[in-house]
């Protein structure tokens, strides 16, 4: 596959991710503030009770949108220039960071809220639930950091090969 085909694929994927960002935001806003749309009903579930649970969902979604935006920047850099250029690796590292942060908050915040509420109410018991999906998401986000490091190494090798030729 040549660079033209990769650039074309990156442009198409960037468009798809941009559309997905718009759809995610629109569906979230409908679920958070919107009315029922005939037989269609959009619901937003919070990570915990009250305003704090809704705030966690808002923050997590905002971080996820930032991650997707960084992904569009990376795809734009892939379409415009060298595959392993600094713009690509920086944007990819940013994508990995924001995705990890969103996942981390999504996984950690509900148990922290539950424990805090239990302590503030004077004791009792709290059930902490972790799903395998949460751990897999964290592991996947951490893997993206490794992949970003591998892209940086590929760039160094590419520069070294250009000097040899």
Provide the mean pLDDT of the chain: 84
Q: What is the pLDDT of residues 77-103, one digit of tens each?
A: 999 877 778 888 889 999 999 999 999
To the nearest whole percent, how much of the chain has pLDDT over 70? Answer: 88
| Rounded Cα gap, residues 60 and 7, in angstroms | 31
Whether the CB-CB separation of 148 and 89 falls below 8 Å is answered with yes
Residues 6 or more apart whose CB falls under 8 angstroms from that of 62 comprise none
Per the structure, how many domains does the chain have? 1
pLDDT at 145 over 80: yes
Can you give the pTM of this predicted structure?
0.81
109-123 average pLDDT score = 80
Q: Give the range of the structural domain holding residue 124, as residue numbers without chain letter.
A: 3-164
Looking at residue 83, the DSSP 8-state letter turns out to be: T
Q: How far apart (Å, rounded) are the C-alpha atoms in residues 133 and 141? A: 12
Other beta carbons within 10 angstroms of residue 68's beta carbon come to 19
């Amino acid at each position: 596959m040549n660079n033209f085909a990769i650039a074309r694929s990156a442009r198409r994927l960037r468009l798809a991710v941009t559309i997905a960002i718009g759809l995610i935001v629109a569906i979230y806003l409908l679920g958070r503030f919107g009315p029922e749309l005939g037989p269609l009903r959009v619901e937003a579930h919070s990570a915990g009770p009250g305003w704090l649970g809704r705030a966690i969902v808002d923050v997590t979604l905002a971080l996820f949108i930032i991650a997707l935006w960084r992904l569009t920047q990376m795809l734009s850099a892939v379409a415009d220039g060298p595959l392993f250029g600094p713009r690509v690796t920086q944007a990819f590292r940013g994508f990995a960071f924001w995705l990890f942060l969103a996942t981390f908050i999504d996984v950690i915040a509900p148990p922290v809220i539950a424990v805090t509420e239990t302590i503030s109410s004077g004791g009792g018991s709290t059930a902490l639930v972790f799903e395998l999906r949460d751990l897999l998401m964290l592991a996947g986000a951490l893997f993206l950091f490794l992949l970003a490091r591998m892209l940086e190494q590929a760039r160094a090798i590419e520069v070294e090969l250009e000097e040899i030729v």
